[in-house]
Amino acid sequence: MFKKPNEKIGVLGDGVTAKAVREKLAAWTIQEYPISEADIVVTSPGIAPRDYPSSKAEFISEIEFAYRLKQDEEIWVGITGTNGKSTVTALLAYTVGCTPQGNIGTPLISSIDTFTPIRVIELSSYQLEGCSTFRPDIAVILNITPDHLERHITMENYAKAKANITLFQTAKDTLIIPHDTLIESSTAASKAQRVYLEESSPLWKFTRHFPLPGYHNKMNALAAILVCKALKTVSDEVMMLGLSTFKGLEHRIEFVCAWDKRKFYNDSKGTNPDSTLIAVQAFDNPIHLILGGKDKGLDLTSFLNALKQEKIKTIGVFGEIKERFFKEAHIHAPTLPLTCFNTFDEATEAAASHSQPDDIILFSPACSSFDQFKNFEDRGTQFKRWVLEHYGQL
Ligand code: ADP
């Protein structure tokens, strides 16, 4: 049975999350209190804790707020990591037949008053940072690599925020993680049963049925398989059907079109260096890489070194980061075949003109989109539209 909250609730922010919380309060005929008078304040993931107004209230994320209203019989699966969250969340939700929730789209609070047997929830470090009792039955941390350091400052803080997903789990719960020093040390205090994401898993054989390209997608498939097994209610037939018929998400190494024996791919969701390198690894053919966007201040040295690969034929950099990228490449990787452009279309046109038959033209920006676009979806949609207009006919 769902029970409405009975504390004095304040809401911080006015984005998607805050709107969803306010809508629910209105639907439950619960008054929103000013922050200074509230017992609890439901925060928005875009606002860093250092920017919270001073108040005697407890500040919690929308995920924590929803968790406090959870119905006992529901099973919650939480998925976090630097990269692959949306793919694994969507794949699992598709396989078990529920709507993916959390960071991927529908805020958790929006359906909290409707009993849902299994909830598959994508969780960002910002959402987990504001959790203080949240306990999913099954937690997955896919990987942790440098990202969002403008907010978390150090990798240890970033890992600590992600580790909140398992901090309150008990011995009845499951924690799925890779063998990774930072992840293992930050989750050392967890009481949950550990299951490892590793190629030596006896379940790895099932990943060959997953149609999406790249080794990373096999890991994503394995994560979903391990969750299905931990749920105990998903048959192998249902699991295999989900795995083998999943179409992938828009803007993740998404095929756009073939032109004169070249192929264009949109990986606009590649918003950090690691995800771009993963996309590069997913192909064996020569690649013309287009990257750039808003500078998140990440260290570029190891990224530039990792781009020194025979198969990367040209790199076109556009957007806010281009000057720093060019300067640092001059110091650390002067032989990279790098050219700067103002916009993605100039970079794509140059990439196409330098390409040979069988080459891949890969748009995987490694940066966030907010310098020239509304978000990564807008950026990917504009890229696809432009490519189809110019190269979609042959
Ligand atoms: P997220 O929701 O965590 O941003 P997505 O599933 O949307 O992750 O994938 C974003 C990008 O991250 C993909 O285009 C791909 O380049 C990369 N990626 C996906 N899965 C993984 C993984 N398991 N490990 C590393 N990189 C990945």
Per-residue pLDDT in tens (0 to 9) along the chain, 394 residues: 889 999 999 999 999 999 999 999 999 999 999 999 999 999 998 898 889 999 999 999 999 999 999 999 999 999 999 999 999 999 999 999 999 999 997 899 999 999 999 999 999 989 999 999 999 999 999 999 877 777 777 888 889 989 999 999 999 999 999 999 999 999 999 999 999 999 999 999 999 999 998 999 999 999 999 999 999 999 999 999 999 999 999 999 999 999 999 999 999 999 999 999 999 999 999 999 999 999 888 889 999 999 999 999 999 999 999 999 999 999 999 999 999 999 999 999 999 999 999 999 999 999 999 989 999 999 999 999 999 999 996 4
DSSP bridge partners of 362: 265, 289
Spell out the alpha helix ranges (H) of the chain: 16-27, 62-67, 85-96, 125-129, 149-152, 155-163, 181-186, 215-231, 236-245, 273-281, 301-306, 322-332, 344-354, 376-391
pLDDT score, position 369? 94
Measured by CA distance, the residue closest to atom 16 of ligand 1 is 275
CA distance 193 to 165: 14
CA 160 – CA 188 distance, rounded (Å): 11
Distance set, CA 247 to CA 156, 170, 250, 267 (Å): 35, 35, 9, 15
Q: DSSP string spanning 242-274?
A: HHHH----TTSSEEEEEETTEEEEE-TT--SHH
| Distance separating alpha carbons of residues 94 and 14, to the nearest angstrom | 30
What sign does the dihedral 370-373-374-379 (CA atoms) show? negative
Please indicate, yes or no, whether the overall pTM of this predicted structure exceeds 0.85: yes
Integer Cα distance of 199 and 109 in angstroms:
36
Residue minimizing CA distance to atom 5 of ligand 1: 84
CA dihedral over 297, 301, 302, 306, signed as positive or negative? positive
Separation of CA 103 and ligand 1 centre (Å): 14
Cβ < 6 A, ligand 1 pocket: 81, 83-87, 142-143, 216, 219-220, 252-253, 267, 269-270, 275, 278-279
Nearest CA to ligand 1 atom 21: 84
Q: Which amino acid is at 175?
A: L
